Amino acid sequence: MGVITFPGSLDDRDALRAVRLAGAEAVPLWHRDPDLQRVDAVVLPGGFSYGDYLRAGAISRFSPIMDMVIEGAKEGLPVLGICNGFQVLTETHLLPGAMLRNNHLHFICRDQRLRVENADTAWTNAYTAGQEISIPLKNIDGRYTADERTLDELEAEGRVVFRYVDGNPNGSLRDIAGITNAAGNVVGLMPHPEHAVEPLVGTGGTDGLGFFASILKKLVSA
Q: Which residue numbers are catalytic?
A: 83, 192, 194
| Burial track 174-210 (b if 16+ CB lie within 10 A, e otherwise) | ebbbbbbbeebbbbbbbbbbbbbbeeeebbeebbbbb
Q: Are 111 and 208 in contact (CB under 8 A)?
A: no
- Do β-strands 2-5 and 176-180 pair in parallel, antiparallel, or remain unpaired? unpaired
Q: Which residues pair with 189 in a beta bridge?
A: 82, 178
- How far, in Å, CA of 106 to CA of 202, rounded? 21
